[in-house]
Structure 1
Amino acid sequence: MEHTGSLARQPLPAEVAGGVDDAPPVISLRGAALAYGDRMLWRDLDLEVRPGEFLAVLGPNGSGKTSLLRVLLGRQPLTAGYVSVLGRPPHRAGGLMGYVPQQKSLPAHTLLRARDLVRLGLEGRRWGLPLGRRAARRRVEELLDAVGALPYADVPVGLLSGGEQQRVRVAQALATDPRVLLCDEPLLSLDLQHQRTVTDLVARRRRAAGTAVVFVTHEINPVLGPADRVLYLAGGGFRIGPPEQVMTTAVLSELYGIQVDVVRVRGRIVVVGAPDAAAPAHHLGARPNGGGPP
């Protein structure tokens, strides 16, 4: 397992490696630290993400998961250290990154249709001459079809279910054919079926296009299958490594300061923690080492 300050890197799976494993990293952090005043979220973070890699970012509320995405988007400076995205400062890589924001329900009276939202992603940051109407419509329909949202392309977004809205947001994030896809809690408020659907959509994209994925989530189990590595943030520290090395009883129990059991069921990792055995470990409300941010 990789620990704080380690630069070791695990090879990518065969279906996404294909020469990509030796490619330059699309995301690189060295000695990275982020603090708000006296509150240190994480420090000494050394991380490289390669093309086609799926990195799941896990941890309790307040551990700095969303703040990490803000750093990669160029919206939040590091307190210390270095970060680059596609070999340049994050704020200069915007057009090459896709972003799926946290789920926010839209009012039912919202007139914006699903196809309108995707077209905003297609043309909102576009330089030069806009696409012709036919070309833009064709591209929007291709994106909607790719995520299974074409049947409700003309439905106002506010009338769509949470899972349907997330499909549309994924299509919007893919509109510019990004090399890096950042996902901020895209599974919030979704049932298990829709969680798996959204996760599968993102996983298929990285396999098909070699897109690097940084996937922030509280929902552990849906991402353990596609995740190549886990970055687990907690208590000002972190662990990085393959899911089977990070998601263990010993590691999670140490991070949360309570007993958390990790078992395998039908080849999948299942996390069970007291007091609520039905909830993922991240929903227990426990704090790493008995302290830290809620």
Structure 2
Amino acid sequence: MTSAVTVENMTVAYHKKPVLREISFEAPEGKLIGIMGPNGAGKSTLIKGILGLVPLASGKVGIYGKPYKIQRKLVGYVPQRESVDWDFPTSALDVVLMGRYGHAGMFRRLRAADREFAFSCLEKVGMSDFADRQISQLSGGQQQRIFLARALAQDASVYFMDEPFVGVDAATERAIVSLLNELKKQGKTVLVVHHDVQTVTDYFDWLLLVNLRKIAFGPTEEVFTSENLQKAYGGRLSFTETLVPSAGIKS
């Protein structure tokens, strides 16, 4: 099985205090992979460490066996919506076009073909009618769709999405799920920070449970057990027995 993402002994520390300790896993190609754990478990930090957005205290990361800096064009990223300055004066289409600069180069003029591709990405997320709308005038769900379109415009092989379902309406959630499945059909690998234990078995093929350390990683039906969830969440998830039989996932 080809590994799209390889993480070896990743440790991340803030002010000399480790927030992730010796995380190792290999994400197989063409899978939808959920990343779950309690608040403060290091889920977002894990993604940022892989993408070089925070320094590693130790360990290394590979995208198809090579360092991220070399493979940057193969990677798309959807950050948490709260981390974005939505008051920045730019249109929805301009945001999506930012995803094309990795292919054109930062100092090269985008071509008409790039604009057409970006517009097609807006169509895929149901936002083509809002192409000229200022992003500050969009709802939270619409803003999230714009960032998904920007990631699509990168035409990546591996996608990282940091809590894309948070704060969105039901229509946007359905659109995101449809998009994830479309990416999977195309052979893309998608790693998603997720928080809803009730939807994990419906959304993801594989699951990574973390709480400062790796708790478990593998096919969802093997990882999503009461025992593993209790290891990850402890008393903060006291209702897991109603969701997950002790022998595996719910039927």
Given candidates 84, 92, 103, the residue that maps to 2:62 is 84
Aligned length: 241
**How much does 1:125 deviate?**
6.2
Q: Which amino acid aligns with 1:238?
A: I
Distance 1:110 1:45 in 2: 36
Q: CA RMSD in A?
A: 2.5
Distance 2:100 2:48 in 1: 21
Distance 2:168 2:131 in 1: 20
Given candidates 214, 239, 244, the residue that maps to 1:260 is 239
Which residue is equivalent to 2:91? 113
Distance 2:12 2:198 in 1: 27
Given candidates 43, 49, 58, the residue that maps to 1:65 is 43
Q: Which amino acid aligns with 2:243?
A: V
Structure 1 pair 254–51 and aligned structure 2 pair: CA distance change class (3 A): closer
Distance 1:27 1:96 in 2: 11
Which of the pair has more CA radius of gyration? 1
**How much does 1:114 deviate?**
1.1
1:82-126 per-residue CA deviation (whole Å, 9 max, x = no partner) reads 32123222223222211101013755x654221111112213663
Given candidates 177, 202, 206, the residue that maps to 2:180 is 202
Pairing 1:155-174 to 2, within 5 Å after superposition: 155-174=133-152
Q: Which structure 2 residue ranges, 5 or more long, are not aligned?
A: none
Report the secondary structure of 1:32's partner residue: strand
Report the secondary structure of 1:93's partner residue: helix
Which residue is equivalent to 1:242? 219
Matched, 1:149 2:127: yes
Distance 1:190 1:177 in 2: 24
Q: Which amino acid aligns with 2:201?
A: L
**How much does 1:188 deviate?**
1.8
Which residue is equivalent to 1:7? none
TM-score, scaled relative to structure 2: 0.84
**How much does 1:187 deviate?**
1.6
Distance 1:64 1:98 in 2: 20
Distance 2:26 2:208 in 1: 11
Distance 2:127 2:138 in 1: 10
Matched, 1:74 2:63: no
Say if 2:125 and 2:175, in contact at 8 Å, map to a contact too: no
Matched, 1:185 2:185: no
Distance 2:220 2:28 in 1: 17
Which residue is equivalent to 1:30? 8
1:13-64 per-residue CA deviation (whole Å, 9 max, x = no partner) reads xxxxxxxxx33x1211223333335533343432111221111101112111
Q: Which amino acid aligns with 1:167?
A: R
Greater CA drift, 187-196 or 212-221: 187-196
Structure 1 pair 78–180 and aligned structure 2 pair: CA distance change class (3 A): same
Matched, 1:226 2:203: yes
Identity of aligned residues (%): 31
Structure 1 pair 236–46 and aligned structure 2 pair: CA distance change class (3 A): closer
Q: Which amino acid aligns with 2:64?
A: L
Structure 1 pair 190–236 and aligned structure 2 pair: CA distance change class (3 A): same
Say if 1:143 and 1:174, in contact at 8 Å, map to a contact too: yes
Structure 1 pair 190–243 and aligned structure 2 pair: CA distance change class (3 A): same
Q: Which amino acid aligns with 2:47?
A: L
Distance 1:29 1:123 in 2: 27
Q: Which structure 1 residue ranges, 5 or more long, are not aligned?
A: 1-21, 271-294
Q: Which amino acid aligns with 1:182?
A: F
